[in-house]
Every structure is written in structure tokens, then in C-alpha cells.
Amino acid sequence: MASYSVVTPSVVKLTVTSSVNSFGSERRFEKDLTIQSLKEKLELLTGSTAANMKLKLYSKDDKLIVDIDSSSALLGSYPVEDGMRIHVDDPTIQAGEYEDVSKVHKFELTDEEYAKRSDSVKAFKEKHKLGIYEDPEKKEREMKLAEENEKQLAENIKIDDRCEVSMSRQPQRRGTVMFVGPVEFQRGVWVGVKLDEPMGKNNGSVQGKRYFECAPKYGRFIRPSQITVGDFPEEGMEDFDEL
């Protein structure tokens, strides 16, 4: 039975630098690649066109070895080794030309032209009354409606009620209602809760005003909509009742 072997083209790892850009890039190239094909690949790295390229090969210690000047020759016909450098020179392009963003033409609009566009962020916010374009009267009406809803919920919450508190992105906590009513630090009705665990934010006072008494870190003020009152014994108390 005949056996066949696959010949893998020899590959060399080279650093590519250019007079067009100030940075270098490490790439792998097959040695059976023609210099013309190599130049075409280098177009994407350097921004220079193959017809204008002049290639030079440098050793690992950065000494010039040879000019790569035959487009029909193979890369492997030159003494290339891993770690060497190919420098691409293009006399038609000034060094750093593609890196100077000050020379890039920028699309600009006057304030008047921008205001006339219907596809801008400004137009979208104006249409949907968002941000600075939000109707202040509508916002105030929505806040008053929410406050009225919270006030109605608060009517069913009494001092000393046991409760369970649902706080955003936090596990539910149990506690005892200690205060129900308006506060000075925020508008609307709030409920002051003494938590069963030190997972709160205060000791029953906020900004120097005391609303109820509890140990530090046991106090928390919650909107009525975040509280459920009912038979919520302290964690673990059920076990003691069975003894």
C-alpha cells in the first residue's frame, strides 16, 4: 500500500515596521510566498500600496541585511529567519501621515442644522419627553399619584406590626414597625422599621432627626409598598416554641 506524506510550507515569523506608521507588528509568512504577494498582504498593515513599497530585511540585532527588490522572487530565497524584521518604506507618504487625526476631515453640524434633524438623540428625547424635555407638570402629577398610593398603603400599617421588608437586590428581612408618617429627608410617607438583624442603615434617626429608637444598623426607612405586615416571628423563634 502506497504511503503519502504532506509537505507543510515553511513558515517564518517576522516583525513588520513601516515608515508610514510608528508601530511594529509581528506576523507569520510562508516562505514560498512571492514578494509581490507579500507586499499585497502588507498593504493591510501599513496603508501603503504594493506598487510604492520598498522592502528591507533587518537582522535580529537590527542590522540591514538586504533590500528585497525582486517582486517575482520567493520570500524564502532571501535569508529570512524567525525574529528578523521587514521594513516597508513608501516615499510617497509622509511618516506618521495616517496617525495625525488633525488631518482627518470631521463631519460637523451647526446647532441650527442639528436641531432640524429628525433622527438625532435630541429629537428622540423631545418626542418622548425625556431628560430635560420631560414635562415637569406631568412628572409632578405622577409623583403625587405615587405618593397617594403609598399613603393609602400606609393606612394599613401600624406601630408594633411585625413585617417583612423587600429591598431592591437584597434578601427579604423581618422586623417591627416603629414609625409611620412623613419625614424631613424625603417627600411622602415612609415606614421606619427596626430589623431583627443589623442589616439597616441607621439607629432610627436621619440627618439629626430622631423618628424611633433602635440600636445602630438596625434601623431602616422603607416605602409602604415595600412592606408586608403579618405573622412574621423572628428567625429561629419557632424552634424555641417547641421546647
* Percentage of the residues of the chain whose pLDDT score is greater than 90: 57
What local confidence, expressed as pLDDT, does residue 4 receive? 46
CB 186 within 8 A of CB 147: no
Q: Looking at the 3D structure of the chain, how many domains does it have?
A: 3
Residue 72, sorted as left (phi over 0), alpha (psi -120 to 50) or beta, turns out to be: alpha
Q: Report how far residue 163's alpha carbon sits from residue 153's, in angstroms, rounded to the nearest whole number.
A: 14
Task: Tell whether 179 is covered by a domain.
Answer: yes
pLDDT band with cut points at 50, 70 and 90 for residue 131:
confident
19 with 90, same domain: the answer is yes
Task: Tell whether 5 is covered by a domain.
Answer: no
The region of weakest confidence among 44-48, 145-149, 235-239 is 235-239
57 with 129, same domain: the answer is no
Residues 27, 30, 34: CA angle, nearest 5 degrees: 110
Task: Tell whether 227 is covered by a domain.
Answer: yes
Task: Tell whether 238 is covered by a domain.
Answer: no
Q: What global pTM score does this model have?
A: 0.45
Task: Tell whether 54 is covered by a domain.
Answer: yes
167 with 217, same domain: the answer is yes
Amino acid at 33: L
**Of 96, 126, 142, which residue constitutes the final position of a domain?**
96
CATH number at residue 31: 3.10.20.90
202 with 161, same domain: the answer is yes
145 with 168, same domain: the answer is no
Q: Report how far residue 165's alpha carbon sits from residue 193's, in angstroms, rounded to the nearest whole number.
A: 9
Task: Tell whether 1 is covered by a domain.
Answer: no
CB 56 within 8 A of CB 64: yes
Task: Tell whether 172 is covered by a domain.
Answer: yes
Q: Report how far residue 194's alpha carbon sits from residue 221's, in angstroms, rounded to the nearest whole number.
A: 9
182 with 206, same domain: the answer is yes
27 with 53, same domain: the answer is yes
- What number is the average pLDDT over the span 114-128? 80
Identify the domain containing residue 86 by its residue range.
Answer: 11-96
133 with 165, same domain: the answer is no
Task: Report the chain's mean pLDDT, rounded to a whole number.
Answer: 85
Name which residue leads in pLDDT, 169 or 55.
Answer: 55
- What number is the average pLDDT over the span 165-194? 92
Task: Tell whether 242 is covered by a domain.
Answer: no
147 with 161, same domain: the answer is no
17 with 92, same domain: the answer is yes
What local confidence, expressed as pLDDT, does residue 237 receive? 46
